[in-house]
Each structure stands twice: as C-alpha cells, then as structure tokens.
Amino acid sequence: MSEDPKHFVAEITYRAPEQTLAPFMEAHVAHLKDGAEQRVVLAFGGKPAGGGGIVILRCLNEEAARKFMAQDPFVENGLVDVTLTAFNASFWQTI
C-alpha cells in the first residue's frame, strides 16, 4: 500500500536584505517552478508586506518536504529561514 501525500505550508522569512537575495531570485523561482512541474509545489508567492513568502507543498512525508525546501538556493546560501507546518487538506480546488 502506498503512502498518501501530505500537505505542508513552508513559510519563508528573509534573513538578509532583499538586495542580497536578488542575485538568487531567478534560481529560487526556477526551483519552485520545477517543484510545480513535479507536482510537489501547489502554489507559491511573496508576502504582501514583504520579508518572505509562502510555499504550499504536497509531499509523501515531512522529510521529503524538508529535502525539497533545503534544495532552494535561498536556503542553500543561508539567506532565509523556513518554517514547515503540516496540515490536513480536506478540500482543494482544481483549476
């Protein structure tokens, strides 16, 4: 029996000024888009007030979610903190 995927919210908080993150932004977005193509990332975007962003993930387990986020260029370069929260998705909209 295969394990059902779990859902996670990854909250990204900048540890560095935005101008320090700028050279890594393109690679960061590419990583998240790759995750979307793999059907791991369901949505992502910046917080309206700035200072970070949100990523909605669907992974087999927390370890897989942490591994995916650890491969983000922002994380690899120590520019952000990531808080991962699991949630039980009881409904989602198919677009």
Specify whether the CB–CB gap between 80 and 13 falls below 8 A: yes
Write the pLDDT tens digit of every residue in 15-37: 999 999 999 999 999 999 999 99
Position 84 scores a pLDDT of 98
What does the pLDDT look like over 38-67, one tens digit per residue? Answer: 999 999 999 998 899 999 999 999 999 999
Local confidence band at 93 (pLDDT 50, 70, 90 cut-offs): confident
For residue 21, which of 57, 75, 71, 60 has the smallest C-alpha distance?
Answer: 75
Q: Binning pLDDT at 50, 70 and 90, where does residue 95 land?
A: low
What's the pLDDT at 81?
98
Which letter does DSSP use for residue 78 in this model?
A: T
- Residue whose structure tokens are 């790759």: 34
Q: What domains appear along the chain, each with residue ranges and CATH number? A: 6-87 (3.30.70.1060)
